[in-house]
Amino acid sequence: MKSVKDYYVPWLPGQKMYISPHIELAWREPNLRRMMSNENPWEPSESVLAAINKYARIANRYPDQGLTIRSKLAAMNGLDGPENVMLGNGSSEVFDNIFRSFLLPGEEVIQHTPCFGIYKLRCAALGGKLVSVPMIYDKEQGEIKFDADAVLAAITPKTKIIVIANPNNPTGNFMAAEDFVRIAETGIPFIIDEAYIEFAGMERSHVALTKKYPNVIITRTLSKAYGLAGLRFGYALGDAEVIMQISAMLIPWNVGTITMWAALAALEDQDAMQWRVNFNNQAVAYIEEELGQIPGLTVFHSHGNYILFDCAGTGKKGRDMVAYAQERGIILRPQPEMYGSDGFFRVTIGSEEENHMVVQVIKEFLTQ
Ligand SMILES: Cc1ncc(COP(=O)(O)O)c(C=O)c1O
């Protein structure tokens, strides 16, 4: 008799369940300050809490297909209607649904690194081949830059998906608008991940490209500026025919009733979102200004709710910075060694108190 192992799809053995050690730690030790996962420090607004409470009372009923919120999202983004919008259990599920719609085992996904880790995981789950195109670290200018030429050069006949986050996590920067057009022109399914776009303003969105290029799909999330990471709500915007086709891959009722209506309440409360954005952007400016004064520390100017640093020039290692902060009650995010430097670490914006704390702790460690 064969072992059950012999029945797994060939690319599964060796892969592991995704567990974020930093998030596990934060839940285990709630006194630690969560400055590691690009969450929003503010609890949901009253209108979102009211919607959660209201729809909790009919949690015995199945959700519908989300026509109300899909119509709202279409209207907010200048699109025709709900057929232009697909909902997901966080944008992580949206990536998965798009990948499953296009990718066969052995086919390629191009990502631009350093970047968000979930593209890699969803590609691996499908037996895809991940092609990581590195951004360019301009050490003189202290900037990590997009390299659209290298992304285009990485295309092969097996390329099925290109994914670019704009602004990118962890680098916090934008790619030039004309480079989005150059990639869109290839006709290859092109995901533009706008998880953090609200922090810079919706005028920076490339959603208009979806009208001209049916291969362009915009992804967004309510986990960041809207502050609902635990609720799990993301969405895709695109050409109606494409969105409706890939929506056939959705797991039925993938977004629950409470989540959908709480998300609608959040979208309708633009003042609450804008208030969070303003708070965030002031905090980014404060931290960049304070830490920008440390000799040898490179601060990567961010358009998101996180800031990347390279402390190699101070003679310290990023992972030691993270360990030092943790001893003082703050969880930061270590980064792998990149561009020959082991000095990288990332800070997520926290509450006012936490932002002051993190500035003190980083100054202390890097200047002692
Ligand atoms: C670039 C980027 N995209 C998407 C997400 C996804 O989030 P979610 O699945 O919560 O929508 C994140 C979260 O950190 C991110 O950094």
Per residue in 109-139, pLDDT tens? 999 999 999 999 999 999 999 999 999 999 8
| Ligand 1 contact, 38 CB (< 6 A) | yes
CA nearest ligand 1 atom 14, residue: 38
Q: What percent of the chain has pLDDT over 90?
A: 99
CA 231 – ligand 1 centroid, Å: 13
**Residue range 130-182, pLDDT digits in tens:** 999 999 999 888 899 999 999 999 999 999 999 999 999 999 999 999 999 99
* Domains delineated in the chain: 4-42+271-367 (3.90.1150.10), 46-268 (3.40.640.10)
| Ligand 1 contact, 91 CB (< 6 A) | yes
The minimum-distance atom of ligand 1 relative to the CA of 233 is: 11
**Residue range 317-360, pLDDT digits in tens:** 999 999 999 999 999 999 999 999 999 999 999 999 999 999 99
Q: Which pTM value belongs to this model?
A: 0.98
CA nearest ligand 1 atom 5, residue: 195
CA nearest ligand 1 atom 15, residue: 116
The minimum-distance atom of ligand 1 relative to the CA of 222 is: 11
| Ligand 1 contact, 116 CB (< 6 A) | yes
| Ligand 1 contact, 259 CB (< 6 A) | no
In degrees, rounded to 5, the angle at the alpha carbon of residue 57 between the alpha carbons of residues 56 and 58 is 90
Q: How far apart are the C-alpha atoms of 221 and 92, rounded to whole Å?
A: 9
**What backbone torsions phi and psi does residue 269 show, to the nearest 5 degrees?**
-100, 70
Residue 308 falls in which region: left (phi positive, over 0), alpha (psi -120 to 50) or beta: beta
| Ligand 1 contact, 90 CB (< 6 A) | yes
**Residue range 191-226, pLDDT digits in tens:** 999 999 999 999 999 999 999 999 999 999 999 999
| Ligand 1 contact, 92 CB (< 6 A) | yes
What's the mean per-residue pLDDT of the chain? Answer: 97
| Ligand 1 contact, 171 CB (< 6 A) | no
Provide the CA 118 distance to its chain's centre, in angstroms.
9
Give residues with Cβ within 8 angstroms of 113, minimum separation 6: 132, 133, 134, 135
CA 82 – ligand 1 centroid, Å: 23
pLDDT tier, 368 (very low <50, low <70, confident <90, very high otherwise)? confident
The minimum-distance atom of ligand 1 relative to the CA of 168 is: 1
